[in-house]
Structure formats: structure tokens, C-alpha cells
Structure 1
Amino acid sequence: MQKVASLPLPSADALGASAALSTAIADAIAASGGWIGFDRYMSLALYAPRLGYYSGGAAKFGRDAGDGSDFITAPELTPFFARTLARQFAPLLGTDLREVMEFGAGTGRLAADLLLALEAEGALPDAYRIVELSGELRVRQQQTLAERAPHLSDRVTWLDTLPERFEGVVVGNEVLDAMPVRLFARAGGQWHERGVARDGDGFAYEDRPLDPAAIPAALQAVPGNHDVVTETHAEAEGFVRAVGAMLARGAAFFIDYGFPSSEYYHPQRVGGTLMCHYRHHAHPDPFLYPGLQDITAHVNFSGLAEAAVDAGLAVSGFASQARFLMNAGITDLMMSLDPSDARAFLPQANAVQKLLSEAEMGELFKVIALTRGLDEALPLAGFARGDRSFAL
């Protein structure tokens, strides 16, 4: 395995774990006749029991490479992210909806800060459920809740699977982008599925021609006849359908980076959106250090919206993260800080600026709200201005 220039070298123990996962992936390829779809590779690399990136013991979330992490998320940047979400959730939880469910809770920072903020808003839920498959992350979440919100941690329970029925508010921050995607390449007008085969001691892409009848519907609408590499999102769309089947009444908010399909499959986006993150470096090689790096793809929000409608949900809002947070009152919340106290004010102001800036997270990240059975008079303030549902 060759180290990419500028990326830190893992420890010997980490390399040993990566080698063990590589063996498991190689066995899966051999059992499948020498080739697996990229979605299968991505699933093993991220979620193989005890060895995958999210099922193993890597740090993942943090501020910089010095703490052993690979990326930072909005809840880790500033508590004002959770406080702003609480302002959107509080009117919903002020009704007879009394529970919150979070997917992919990371370090538990969003859960802790959201519970504290909802308590301050007078809308503390009776129960906060976290759907989390990683045992290592569950431990981190429990520790974070014990440290940041000890008096509220008894309201939190962990689930391995979705319940059959749920009423309340659902939230998922940067969970959809880590769901396995299928890769496709169009070359010379012919669509191929881009899968994974062995390449010496490592792995490499291998394309297989697709019969026209097997071309996914999303690709049939890709304009032009130029060469292109792109993704489809059957697993994320299936997940949204499952949420729709579960959500008897309430609202689900998903926050992630991505585009509507008209932008996702724009003729100028010829290389797809697949990206890897290792020690706060972004790079395009998913075969580097299997199990030690994150693998993601941007979200096709149009596909998610269609899946939600198929499941009987309503698309009640779609906006940039910046517009959503400003509508929900993040700038008002910032006024609680004293600008003259530079040590307290500047780090939070800089973090909020990162959440809002078009050059940072403000435009690339989107927020979509999916609802069922809500009173139309209940406010979804985050979409009061700048709602882009028409673009889905």
C-alpha cells in the first residue's frame, strides 16, 4: 500500500487493522467471482464488524489531526448549531410530540447540546433516542452526555434498529453522506458500473458494461453524451423510505452536503462527488488505508425527496444551511455574547461564520424537512425565507 504524499502515516497497530480489513474485502471479492460493486466495498470499508471505519475504534470526529481525528462537524464547532436547531424543534415538541430521535450521533455533542438548549426553551423531550451501530461511538456519546448534560443523560436511550412506530422529531446531521453509493462511468456513450477488483496487494476500479435495461433511472436523465463518473444513492433513499414507514407523526430534519439532481448531474460535474477524509486531509482514493479513513459522497436531495414522498411523507422545506440557521435565529442567539469579551466572542463568531459562509459550509450544506401529520399552523421557521423545495 502506497502512502499518498502529505498524508500522515498510520501507526503500526492501525496498519495491522487495515490489513485485516483488506483481507476480509479481498475474500469478499474472491467469493463474488473477482469483482464487487463499489457500494459493497464502501459498506465493508465503513461498517465491517470491528474493522470498518465506523464500527472500529478510530477517533473520527475532532478539531485537527493532532487529536487523531479525520474531520469536524457542525456540532463540534459550536454549541450555537444545536441551540439554533432547538429553536426550530421547540414549537414542535411543545405540542404532544414528546420525543427526539437522532441518527449518527457522532461524539454525542449534538445530543448533549440539543437537550440543554431544549431545556432552556421549555421544550425538553421525555425521551431522546439515538440510533447508533458503533459500540465505540456509543461509549463516546455516553461520556459526552455525562460530562455536558449529566442531569439529562437518563432521558437518552440507544437503539440498534428503527422502531416500528415513532412520533416526534427526527434529526440526522451528516449521516446520509456516509451511506454506501453505487459508482457508474459513462464512456463513449456506454454506461458501466464501476466496481472493485484486486490489484496486487490492494484494490482498483474495474468497470463492467451495463445492459441498457439495467441503467438506474437517475442516470437515464443525465444530460449529454460526454464521459462522466457519478453515483446513485439507493441505500440512502431506502433509509428515507424506512424513516417514512416509521414516522407516524412528526418531522425529520436531515442536514448534509449535496445538491438537487439538476446540480448533482450537471454536465460540468464529470468526476462525481466521492471523497475521502483522513487526518483532516481530503483526497479521492478510497483504497488508501481501508478502515482508517472516511469515504463519503454528496447527497442527491431530489432522490431523497422522491423516496420520502413515496413513503407518504411531505417535503416541508429545503434550504441552504446558512439560510435555515439564519431563519431559525442563529444571529439572535449570538447577541447573547458580549463582543467586548474577545476570548469568549471571537472563537464562537468564527465558528458561526464557518457555518454560514458560502465559501465554507453555508451553501454546500442543505437542510431538508420531511413531515407527516403535522398541523399546518406549526411553524417551520428555518424555511420562512429562501425555501428551495421547488428545485427538488
Structure 2
Amino acid sequence: MQLQLPEASIEAQRASRLLHKLIASEIRQHDGWISFARYMELLLYAPGLGYYSGGAAKLGKDGDFTTAPEITPLFGATLAHLATELIASSANLQAQILEFGAGSGQLAFDILTELAADPDGPALQAYYIVELSAELRARQQQKLRGFPQVQWLDRLPEAFSGVVLGNEVLDAMPVELVVRAAQGWQQRGVGLAETGGEADEAAFVYRDRAADPALVAQIPDADTLTVGHLTEVHPVAIGFMHTLAAMLKAGKGGVALLFDYGFPAAEYYLQQRDQGTLMCHYRHHAHPDPFYLPGLQDVTAHVDFTAMARAALDGGLDLLGYSSQAAFLLEAGIGRLLLRTSPDDPLQYLPQANALQKLVSPAEMGELFKVLAVGTQVELPERFSRHDRSHRL
């Protein structure tokens, strides 16, 4: 398939070729095959060359995709008020926030700006950011230089008490691909095409080998799926949820709010979704080819929220709620915050109302995006139960 996408700059193409050579070298070192999760990890996080560790803009109109904080500061303002409500209502939560994967830093900026505007509100002791990308961390430090309470961490701490936020974090974690073949389930990895040219320049191709039964075990009723059914499983994200659970349990009280696009397992592994959910994003174009311009495009998969919830429960956390993003934000008060701008001032009000519509409309992000809330020694306010879908997980 020939992709019709914007052309990359000469410098960007050079960086992509370097990453291609790095990945090709690793494939050769591993007998011509690496797992797709390893390939995706290198695409996104290879030092200096991966999508999230390189220098290209990722977010907003100049990047490859747009996230909720980039659309409107109302998203961060809403989470600021919810975080203070949760902290004030539980004696077990300390007045601190931890954000994992903060992107441009916009969400942290909006939360901290909203909290600073309320001198009578609870003082936030610290705002921690766990950021794996040195390049993104540098951007965040520039954007958040006016907030001394922000501290950067290289990994999740062993213990934390407070509110944890993750916006589009789980979908950026490497996934494994598995496909049902006539001889049974296969793990789809990456190899190099046979070529008479330079080995470092050989095209990437899919290669299958017998799948570890532990990978297939995540798929409900896997044996009922037809031959040719391709899907993702999420061992890295499951491992992250286990680590998150251990951290909150050690902290004696905390809640994690995870915003992402995805489905419960019963919908994720439907026969109708027989080619999986893997998608690539390049300059606001979506396409399915993860071999295109390595390092210059985002590669993601939808989240299996059942697997994430089960991992949290296995780690000793409570399932506090699961709902659409629209229902969650509306119950959290985003509509009330919009009305701080008078509808009688259309020049100010209409852009904010249109941005809010993108977050909550079922035709935009409102239904595809979900919110999973897990924690210990804390409960969500009762109003969130009105639209809870935990029974679907």
C-alpha cells in the first residue's frame, strides 16, 4: 500500500534512517527476529532517535496528534478541582499529585494555574512528573519554570500517597501482536526482508513464530476466534499497573485516574475487530503501517481496560470506577467551569464551548475515551456512580 503522507524534512529522514539501522542491527543480533513489543519500544523510546526521545514536535497543530490538555485548559482545571476534592475528603491522601508521561507539560500547567488562582484552596505540597523522555522533560521544565513545586522523577517511586494522573499513557506502551493461524496462535514479530543490498537498509517485515501461551491467556475465549484473527495483548501496560498498585499500596492511600481510548475485553476482542487496533499517527494523518519512517510517527494501540482493571485488582487496589470520558468530566464539573465565561460574551465563550464539545461529544472524544479509576483507602464522590460501567469490565 502506497501511503500519501506529508514529506519529512531531510534532517528528519536522516534521523529515521539511523533508527532503522539501529533496529536492523538488533534484529540481526537476535537471529533475524525481535518481538513487536521490542520493535515498538525502539520506535518510541530509543535514546535520541525514538519518537518520544527525539526532537520533533509531537503535540498540537504542529505535531502528529492532539490530546485533551492541548484542546482546552478546562480539562486541567477540572482535574485540579477534582484532585483537591479527593484530597480534602480523605484523611489518607497527601496533598500531592503525580503525573506519568506529561507530554508538553500542558496538563500540569493548567492544573497548577487553576490551583494558584484559588488562594483559599488547599496548598499542593508537590507535583511530581515521571517522564522517560529527556527531550520532553526539557520542554516541560521550560513550560513549568514558574511552579517551584514541580519535581521530575525517572521512575515511579516505591511509595506514593495522593492523586496519580495518566492521560494517554497506556496507549503509548509497547504491545505484542498475536495472530491465530491454522497451527495455533502465533506471536507476530519483526524481521528483515531478503535483499541483495545493504543489510542495514533492508525493509522491515512481519515474521511469526509460536506464541507463548501466557500471551494468549489474556484473550477471552481465544479458541473461538477464527483463523487470521490478529490482535494486541498488553504485557507492558499490565506490568505498569502492577507497579502502580504496589506504589499506592505502599503509600497507604491514593487514587489513579487513567484517561485513554479503548474498550473492555468483551468489545476489544470481538470477531469484527479481527485486525486489531494498532494505529500510527503522522502529521495528523492516521494509517496502519508501523514500518513507515521509524521514529517520526507515533504508534499506538487501544487499551484493554479489563486487563488494566484486573492487574490493579491483582495488585491489591480497589476498582473505584470506569466510565466514558464525557460522563466523568461532566460529573467532575467541567460544565460549571465553562460557565465562568458568560455566554453573553460569544468571542470568549464560543471557542471554549467548542473545545469542551470535542472532549465530551460521542462523535469526538467523549465516548471512545474512557476513564479508569483505581486506588486504595479512598472513594470517588457518590455522583460518579451514576454513569459507572465497571460491570462491563
Distance in 2, Cα, partners of 1:111 & 1:336: 21
1:114 to 111, 114, 121: 111
How far apart are 1:83 and its partner, in Å? 1.3
Distance in 1, Cα, partners of 2:286 & 2:81: 33
Seen in structure 2, the aligned counterparts of structure 1 residues 223 and 192 have a Cα distance that, compared at 3 Å, is closer
Letter in 1 for 2:338: M
Letter in 1 for 2:97: V
Unaligned runs of 5+ in 1: none
How far apart are 1:116 and its partner, in Å? 2.0
SS in 2 for 1:366: strand
Letter in 1 for 2:64: D
SS in 2 for 1:319: strand
Matched, 1:169 2:163: yes
Question: Counterpart of 1:243?
Answer: 244
Seen in structure 2, the aligned counterparts of structure 1 residues 338 and 345 have a Cα distance that, compared at 3 Å, is same
Distance in 1, Cα, partners of 2:24 & 2:103: 29
Question: Counterpart of 2:221?
Answer: 221
Letter in 2 for 1:219: I
Whether contact under 8 Å (1:195, 1:207) holds in the other structure is yes
Letter in 1 for 2:144: L
How far apart are 1:99 and its partner, in Å? 0.9
1:196 to 175, 182, 190: 190
How far apart are 1:189 and its partner, in Å? 6.6
Whether contact under 8 Å (1:70, 1:280) holds in the other structure is yes
Whether contact under 8 Å (2:170, 2:237) holds in the other structure is yes
Question: Counterpart of 1:102?
Answer: 99
SS in 1 for 2:231: strand
How far apart are 1:386 and its partner, in Å? 0.8
Question: Counterpart of 1:47?
Answer: 45
Question: Counterpart of 1:207?
Answer: 208
Matched, 1:259 2:263: yes
How far apart are 1:363 and its partner, in Å? 0.4
SS in 2 for 1:271: coil
Give CA-to-partner distance per residue, 1:130-173, whole Å, 9 cap, x none. 00011111121122223xxx2xx100010001111111110000
Give me the TM-score of the superposition, normalised by structure 1. 0.92
Whether contact under 8 Å (1:223, 1:266) holds in the other structure is no
How far apart are 1:340 and its partner, in Å? 2.8
Percent of matched pairs sharing the same residue: 54
SS in 2 for 1:133: coil
Question: Counterpart of 1:158?
Answer: 152
Question: Counterpart of 1:379?
Answer: 381
SS in 2 for 1:158: strand
Whether contact under 8 Å (1:88, 1:380) holds in the other structure is no
Question: Counterpart of 2:199?
Answer: none
Give CA-to-partner distance per residue, 1:194-234, whole Å, 9 cap, x none. 110112422011122337x4552113523634131100000
Distance in 2, Cα, partners of 1:351 & 1:99: 28
SS in 1 for 2:19: helix
Question: Counterpart of 2:338?
Answer: 334
Give CA-to-partner distance per residue, 1:72-98, whole Å, 9 cap, x none. 100000011111112221112225511
Question: Counterpart of 2:309?
Answer: 305
Question: Counterpart of 1:367?
Answer: 371
Question: Counterpart of 2:86?
Answer: 92
Letter in 1 for 2:126: A
Whether contact under 8 Å (1:25, 1:44) holds in the other structure is yes
2:356 to 333, 342, 352: 352
Matched, 1:186 2:185: no
Give me the TM-score of the superposition, normalised by structure 2. 0.92
How far apart are 1:380 and its partner, in Å? 6.0
Distance in 2, Cα, partners of 1:92 & 1:357: 26
CA-atom RMSD in angstroms: 1.7
2:347 to 343, 347, 363: 343
Task: Tell me the matched-pair count.
Answer: 377
Matched, 1:33 2:31: yes
Letter in 2 for 1:102: E
Whether contact under 8 Å (1:3, 1:9) holds in the other structure is no
Seen in structure 2, the aligned counterparts of structure 1 residues 76 and 380 have a Cα distance that, compared at 3 Å, is farther
Whether contact under 8 Å (2:215, 2:233) holds in the other structure is no
SS in 2 for 1:219: coil
Seen in structure 2, the aligned counterparts of structure 1 residues 337 and 214 have a Cα distance that, compared at 3 Å, is closer
How far apart are 1:118 and its partner, in Å? 2.9
Distance in 1, Cα, partners of 2:215 & 2:125: 46
Question: Counterpart of 2:14?
Answer: 16
Question: Counterpart of 1:140?
Answer: 139
Q: Which runs of 4+ in 1 moved over 4 A?
A: none
Distance in 1, Cα, partners of 2:164 & 2:302: 21
Unaligned runs of 5+ in 2: 196-201
